[in-house]
């Protein structure tokens, strides 16, 4: 499993970055994550994600769309993986990802899930642990 919460008594809340431009999906992921005790950082564009990677505290988990209004997230995901090799990263995709990019991201330990996702799958995404 990828994202299940453990008891965090005395620890900082788990930080989840959601990089998703689909407002409904972002809202559902945020709602589920907050109900599981995550502190959520919502991002809808790659430009925001690059700033967040530079300026924000380390996330504990990341869920990212493969394609955003200002480009593909693959370079950002690889940079994120390089900086934080231990955190679970999940990439959601609606359109096929070029095989060479998919292989590169998989080799970096980035997981994939196809869109559309059901409500049950959203709960599974948040509840899973690496």
The tokens for 87 are 């955190």
pLDDT > 70: percent of the chain: 88
Is residue 128 within 8 A of residue 5, CB to CB? The reply is no
Domain ranges, residue 102: 15-127
The DSSP symbol for 26 reads H
The better pLDDT of the pair 11, 7 is held by: 11
The predicted pLDDT at position 9 comes to 46
The answer to whether position 21 is within a domain reads yes
The answer to whether position 101 is within a domain reads yes
Residue 94 belongs to a domain with what CATH number? 3.40.50.2300
The answer to whether position 2 is within a domain reads no
pTM of the model: 0.84
Model confidence pLDDT, tens digit, residues 17-54: 999 999 999 999 999 999 989 999 999 999 999 999 99
The DSSP symbol for 73 reads S
CA–CA dist 54, 40 (Å, integer): 17
The answer to whether position 3 is within a domain reads no
How many domains is the chain partitioned into structurally?
A: 1
In which residue are the tokens 């998919």 written? 102
Model confidence pLDDT, tens digit, residues 60-92: 999 999 999 999 999 999 999 999 999 999 999
């Amino acid at each position: 499993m990828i994202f299940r919460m453990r008891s965090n008594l005395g620890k900082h809340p788990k930080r989840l970055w959601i990089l998703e431009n689909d407002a409904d999906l972002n809202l559902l992921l945020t709602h589920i994550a907050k109900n599981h005790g995550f502190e959520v950082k919502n991002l809808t564009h790659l430009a925001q994600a690059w700033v967040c990677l530079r300026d924000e505290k380390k996330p504990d988990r990341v869920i990212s769309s493969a394609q955003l209004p200002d480009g593909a997230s693959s370079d950002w995901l690889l940079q994120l993986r390089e900086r934080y090799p231990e955190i679970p990263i999940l990439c959601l995709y609606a359109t096929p990802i070029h095989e060479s990019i998919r292989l590169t991201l998989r080799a970096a330990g980035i997981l994939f899930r196809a869109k559309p996702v059901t409500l049950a799958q959203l709960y599974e995404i948040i509840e899973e642990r690496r």
